[in-house]
Amino acid sequence: MPAHHPTYRSSYIFLIGFMGTGKSHWGRIWADRHSYCFLDLDEMIEQDERHSVVEIFEQQGEDYFRQKEAISLRNTEHLKPIIVSCGGGTACFFDNMHWMNEHGLTILLQSDPTTILRNILSEQVKRPLVKNLNEAELLFFIEKKIKERAIYYKQAHIHLFTEGLDETAIDQIILPTH
Ligand code: S3P
C-alpha cells in the first residue's frame, strides 16, 4: 500500500471486486479483528430466498437476483459497524456503486486473472455465470468481464491488490469508530 494512502474512518465498509478475489475470506478476518459484524451479501440473499444463488439464477433469472441484491444491500445499514462482502456484480447494477460510496467506504480487491481463475475453478459450480465454462473459456470470460466492469470498480474509494494481503492490511485504512 502506498505510504501516502489517506486514512478513512468508517463503520460501514463494502468489499467489492471480481469473483474469486477473496472478498468473503478477508472480510471475515478483518471484521473479526475489528469487532465489526460481517455479512456476505450472496449468503443473505440465499437465506432470504431459501435457494442457492445458482438456483435463483436458474429459476427466477438474473434480473430478479439483481433486484434482490440491490434491496439486500440497502438493508445492511442497521448492522453497523459492519463489513459487507458484495457479490462480484453488485457494484455494476442499478446505482449500487454510487449508493455504497455515499453511505460508506468502498474497498476494491483486485487480483490477476490467473489468480482469479485458480480461485474460481475450485468453486465454479457455485457461480452461475461461469459454471459451464471450460478453463480456456473461463480465463477469457474473466479478462473480458473485468474490462467491462472496470468503469464501476474504479470508483471504489480504496483499491487493494490481494497479493500480499494479511489480517493487518485494513488496520491502516479503517479506524474503528466504536
Ligand atoms: C456474481 C458474483 C457472485 C454472485 C453471482 C454473480 C457476478 O459473487 O453474486 O454469482 O456477477 O460476478 P462472488 O463474487 O462472491 O462469487
The per-residue pLDDT for range 72-113, each reduced to its tens digit, is 999 999 999 999 999 999 999 999 999 999 999 999 999 999
CA 118 to chain CA mean position, Å: 17
Which ligand 1 atom sits closest to the C-alpha of 69? 9
- Asked, for residue 112, whether it belongs to a domain, the answer is yes
8 inside domain: no
Q: How far, in Å, from the CA of 39 to the mean position of ligand 1?
A: 14
Instruction: Give the closest residue (by CA) to ligand 1 atom 11.
Output: 89
- Domain assignment present for residue 51? The answer is yes
State pTM to two decimals: 0.95
In the reported structure, the alpha carbon of residue 88 is separated from the centroid of ligand 1 by a whole-number distance in angstroms of 4
Place 1 in a pLDDT band, splitting at 50, 70 and 90: very low
The residue range of the domain holding 35 is 13-173
Please work out whether the CB of residue 104 comes within 6 Å of at least one atom of ligand 1: no
Number of alpha carbons in the 13 Å side-chain half-sphere of residue 109: 29
What is the band of 67 on the pLDDT scale with cuts at 50, 70, 90?
A: very high
**pLDDT tens-place string over residues 40-65:** 999 999 999 999 999 999 999 999 99
Residue 4 domain-assigned? no
User: Do the Cβ atoms of 28 and 126 come closer than 8 Å?
Assistant: no
| CATH number of 57's domain | 3.40.50.300
**Total of domains in the chain:** 1
Q: 165 - beta bridge partners?
A: none
Identify the burial level of 76 via C-beta atoms within 10 angstroms of its C-beta, where 0-12 means exposed, 13-18 middle and 19 or more buried: buried
